[in-house]
A and B are shown apart, each in its own frame.
Chain A
Amino acid sequence: MTGKNEDPGSSSTPTDTTMSSKSSVQRLPPPEKPEAVWTRFKIIAAFWAVIVFLGFPIWWKTTSIYRARLPVQEMVEWADGKTCRPVFPLEIRFETPSLPDSEAQHLLRTTQHTLDDLNEFSAHHLRLKLSEDTLAANNRDERQLHITTDGKADTALIVRLLPQDDLTSPRSELHLDTTQLDVYYPPSQIPPPSSSNPPLSAYIAGELQQLFTEEKAIIAQILSDNNAMGSTNTPASSNNQQPSRMLNSISPQLAETISRRLRRSMKYADTYHLAFSLFAPGSSPSSWDIQPAVDEYIAPLLHAFAPISNFTVDTQVQLYATFSPTAPPPEYDESQATWTLKQEDLSAFINAAEWPLSPSIGNGPTINFILYVPAPSQSPMVVKESSATSWIIPQWGGVFILNPPLSTATGAPSNPTHLSQASLGPAFLTFSHQLLTLLGAPATPTSLPFRLQTLIRIRAADLLLSASSTMGSLARLTESLPSIPIPAAVATSVSTTLSHLASACVHLREGRFQAALASARVAETEAERSFFEKSMVGQVYFPDEHKVAVYLPLLGPVGVPLIVGLLREIKRIVASWKARRAGS
């Protein structure tokens, strides 16, 4: 048994002498009994056991935040484009009513071969297919824009080969209202089975290649933009070399137009609100034939867009709409006798503070179309550089300046009080064109259904990539901020997103673009929902000073005796252990 150093039996003489020199009657207390030491040890151990096994877990449990498990690795892989490489195998059906099967097959094979040679962008390729039901296809009338629910791939284009006798070289014609390309060829050009590269095949391949040039360029642009935005430290995979090579091959003008159009177009949404506004700086014109104008110029377009998005339309007349006081006023151009706006000042044309252009209520962005009728004293008004009267405000809407003929019936020239449908025609044609651009539809070719199909593919790619990158951002966010809670709803949304992303990817690979768009839409909505979950930002800021202020008044006074007691016990145990080792 080890005694304390107060043991008088072993007390040293120097201490005794010093003490006796001070006071001879004082004596040290008797040594502590081992039971007392043991009891003290047990007490301190009990206190610390309560702290460690009860207090600490309770504190940990009550102050910890719920963080649902997220498949972070998977999410990052989606964002980096490692999981899915979007491909666009477009199915093109050949209808050859006048050719025997074998010759048609041969023509198909050679054309496919030529096409593959021409194509530099393997993510986007055309697959030619011979129509099985050639007879039925002969009197095909229905539009191609329908959602395929079965496993079959969407048909991107129908090529009909029609012999025409009075031709020397083949010519093609794209239907304006369907996705159908008629190719007329002189019967003499039917390739013999022996030829490997007949001119007709080369012609068809060239035509097809040209039809899809813009679409390819846009998709390449989207893919390369995404790769540029995504993590830069990922090694250059074969995936992101492809689009850049494709981009290098197209003309710089086309690349410039495409990237400008991509910048201008609205983000994809389920519902767009269209708001047509008539603005006038004075009291006239105060009415317009808006309903017939919308019915004639806008409604057919919206009907065609119905598979992609929903639209609501509202219109308003706003009078006494003046320019912002800070905006530069229009200048009078003597030579043209017009009032001109400088191109660089067009951004200040909209007086956002005063013009009631509030976005519509409900989900989805608002696209504004402004018809501005200048005051009689400033009419006609044009843009200085181009003499244009309309322009697009990227991702916001379009503006059209209407200069109606002034009436001088009552002396001073004045605007008409009513705008008839005829006078609205040019404006609404411009608006419909601007709407197409703002929705991201390509400019070529002329066939509207064809452009809509292209738009479906572009949107599918766009949504797929944007949902993937949202997943990546969410993963990075949750990793960089360990103090934010992650509710279970986010985990559910993430898993929904990932599963829809996967199915969209499969649909793309199999050429079912409508279905891919539908999946990508769900993925995008869920991704946005998980990223903008309200409860995740709720407790981001809970400063440490507050915690200290709350804990310190309690933990300070309580902790000090506990820690001192613990240290003393440890010291004693160490001392006794040393003593025992020394003694042994």
Chain B
Amino acid sequence: MISLFYLFLLPLVALSSAIPATSDYHESLTLQPLPQSALLASFNFRSNASEESFDERNFRYFPRALGQILQHAHTKELHLRFTTGRWDDQSWGSRPWDGTKEGVTGVELWAWIDASDDEEASAKWITLTQSLSGLFCASINFIDSTRTTRPVASFQPTGDHSISNNLHLLHGTLPGEVVCTENLTPFLKLLPCKGKAGVASLLDGHKLFDASWQSMSVDFRPVCPHPDECVVQIEQTVDIVLDIDRSKRPRDNPIPRPVPNDQLVCDTSKAYHSDQTCYPLEKTKEKGWSLSEVFGRSVSGACPLGNDQNSHDETVCLRVPHEREVSISLGALEIKKPDGVSRCYELQPFRDFDLVIPEQDATTQVPLEEPVLRAERTIVGHGQERGGMRIIFDNPSDTNAADFIYFETLPWFLRPYVHTLQATVTGRDGVRQQVPASQFIKETYYRPAVDRERGTQLELALSIPAASTVTLTYDFEKAVLRYTEYPPDANRGFNVAPAVIKVNGRDAANGRSHPIYIRTTSLLLPLPTPDFSMPYNVIILTSTVIALAFGSIFNLLVRRFVTVEEAEALGAQTIKGRLAGKVVALRDRLKGKTSKVE
């Protein structure tokens, strides 16, 4: 099953990838209002370069900065994701692009690297992460061996690779990375129109990172439409879910205000309704919005880099029912699609484009696609020493079982006990039932962690029966880190990368299977943290103990012991008196001695 939304997007992709252009560029923006005054905006930018010009390092639409990194690291296919927020599949339905263009919270990177052996691949992977780190101003260089895995079944190359390449898949995540404007700026620099023309001109860091959910992706892969004619393709996408109300607030006055009394629509049938109390009625009208209100600016013309000047790209598409009233700025051309729920616009170069949907009664809605699987992953348990992981899979389908691959990487300081893996199944009737986990797990790939060298890698091939919810749990133990291994904000907790779920979706049209990706939220693992003033405390405490012990032993050894009376006799002498006495005694003795000699 595939959503109507993607049925509509796919022909665009298919059409464009069929063109064997040596160097071309396409961009598109799809807007779809979602329930609860949310708006999904999917930006897509794709350019090709012939493999020959790429190898000769003649970059045209392909960004040189990225191209030379890929060549330097012998990377044949690359996928980079920057994501913040959580996709709310309860109210927003299935994910855009079937989840193939989104990543885990933070940064996710996976690449196929051409190398003769694993060691060489790792070295090139380090080169790649360090270079990308500089290019995208992100901490990608912190993807070290402990955060790198080599997934077995979760990812498949999407490009056409020649057989002579010895490809190695490496995958790394940075769940703690905060994606922000400094990552967007280099992202926009990779585009041929630099965000100054075309739909990319809408991308503004203030609005983009204020969104409920956003995901930026960079995909690089070789594509061979014909066996002897290959192009390298770079595809960049930005998907954001904006809260329309929030986005429409002016930037200089962003504090939400209560609705004035006279504009409140109250339920007058309530018994307590009066001038002072009001039960607000739900709005029946759909909110009005425009591009310039939601994004803070309008599209500054088309990016005129099509194949030829007269090509007609349907750049901006809007998914609202046809009866909905939409007004656009002059010069743009509207094309209504036969499916009844979408329309597209052709933009003119050098002419601003805006799109206004006035507030109007919403009679019909664009149907949202139900996700094929819901997944939730949490850390359970208490205490500093042990904990547990609980993963809940919910198959909403009443007829089909969900077959998927569950892939998770755990940091080395989280030590899972795989033998405690247990499953509970709950049907629609709500009856919980403990069953052996092997009933759902068809295959397991498990690679245990090595302290400070690599994390745990767990890949499970699972099958969840129709209309049921399966809960997997396992226990783990928390390791104690060394003093220097704690980050500055150790008490915040340690990020555990989200799990990646690959569902084998079946295409309704041609029966081919295509993957659907779902990612859980990232987790925070509280570890026992020491008091960080410890070293000095330890030094001072042990020093004091040693000094005490040493002092008493030393004094025992060198002091002279006398009776109390004798001590009083000695102590009665003041220092001054003793000194005087010593002087006198010395003189007397000298006298006595001399007299003796005489």
Q: Which residues of A contact B (CB under 8 A)?
A: 5-6, 10-12, 14-15, 18-19, 22-23, 25-29, 32, 36, 40, 43-44, 47, 275, 283-284, 286-287, 290-291, 312-317, 319-322, 354, 356, 358, 360-362, 417, 549-550, 553-554, 556-558, 561-562, 565, 579, 582-583
Contacts and interface: CB of A to CB of B under 8 A. Distances in A.
Contacts of B309: 417
B582 A5 contact: yes
B57 A361 contact: no
Contacts of A361: 68-69, 72, 131
B65 to A, nearest CB: 5
A36 B58 contact: no
A553 B23 CA distance: 71
B572 A23 contact: yes
Nearest to B589: A10
Contacts of B565: 25-27
Interface stretch (B332-340, B395-403, B404-412, B550-558): B550-558
B131 A29 contact: no
Nearest to B127: A361
Contact of A43 (B558, B563, B597): B558
Contacts of B546: 554, 558
B58 A315 contact: yes
21 contacts: A5-B581, A5-B586, A10-B589, A12-B585, A15-B585, A18-B577, A23-B572, A29-B566, A47-B554, A275-B64, A312-B57, A314-B57, A316-B64, A317-B59, A319-B305, A320-B193, A354-B189, A356-B189, A553-B543, A554-B543, A579-B593
The 9 closest A-B pairs by CB, nearest first: A557-B547, A314-B57, A29-B566, A553-B543, A316-B64, A554-B543, A29-B562, A26-B569, A320-B196
Interface in B557-575: 557-558, 560, 562-563, 565-570, 572
Interface in B290-307: 303-305
B448 interface: no
B380 interface: no
B536 A549 contact: yes
Contacts of B388: none
Nearest to B196: A320
Nearest to B63: A356
B13 interface: no
Given A286-B305, A316-B64, A558-B550, A10 B58 contact: no
A137 B57 CA distance: 43
Interface in B112-131: 131
A314 B555 contact: no
A284 B72 CA distance: 30
B491 interface: no
Nearest to A362: B72
Contacts of A354: 189
Contacts of B593: 579, 582-583
A417 B399 CA distance: 56
Contacts of B65: 356, 358
Contacts of A356: 63-65, 189
Contact of B193 (A316, A319, A553): A319
Contacts of A26: 565, 568-569, 572
Contact of A319 (B192, B536, B581): B192
Nearest to B192: A319
Contact of B544 (A11, A36, A319, A557): A557
Interface residues of B, number: 65
Given A275-B64, A283-B305, 14 more contacts: A5-B581, A12-B584, A18-B577, A23-B572, A26-B569, A40-B558, A290-B58, A316-B60, A319-B192, A320-B193, A553-B544, A557-B548, A557-B550, A579-B589
B572 A22 contact: yes
A40 B536 CA distance: 35
A361 B70 CA distance: 10
A316 B69 CA distance: 14
Contact of B539 (A358, A550, A562): A550
B558 A558 contact: no
B470 interface: no
Contact of A562 (B58, B303, B554): B554
Contacts of B20: none
B592 interface: yes
A320 B197 contact: yes
Nearest to A15: B581
A319 B188 CA distance: 12
Contacts of A43: 557-558
Contacts of A25: 565
B189 to A, nearest CB: 6
B193 A283 contact: yes
Nearest to B58: A315
B563 A29 contact: yes
B192 to A, nearest CB: 6
A211 B319 CA distance: 77
A472 B24 CA distance: 55
Interface in B306-322: 309
A39 to B, nearest CB: 9
Interface in B350-393: none
A373 to B, nearest CB: 15
B543 A557 contact: yes
Contacts of A29: 560, 562-563, 566-567, 569-570
Interface string B47-86: 0000001001111110111011100100000000000000
A19 B303 contact: no
Given A315-B58, A361-B131, A417-B309, A283 B590 contact: no
Contacts of B69: 361
A40 B556 CA distance: 10
A50 to B, nearest CB: 12
B581 A283 contact: no
B325 interface: no
Contacts of B551: 557-558, 561
A14 B584 contact: yes
Nearest to B597: A583
Nearest to A358: B65
A557 B543 CA distance: 8
A290 B305 CA distance: 18
B194 interface: yes
B540 interface: yes
B588 A12 contact: yes
Nearest to A9: B592
A238 to B, nearest CB: 50
B577 A28 contact: no
B194 A320 contact: yes
Contacts of A322: 196
B176 interface: no
B554 to A, nearest CB: 5
Interface in B196-222: 196-197
Nearest to A550: B539
A553 B585 contact: no
Interface in B500-547: 536, 539-540, 542-544, 546-547
Nearest to A2: B589
B349 interface: yes
Contact of A10 (B57, B566, B582, B588): B588
A356 B191 CA distance: 11
A19 B58 contact: no
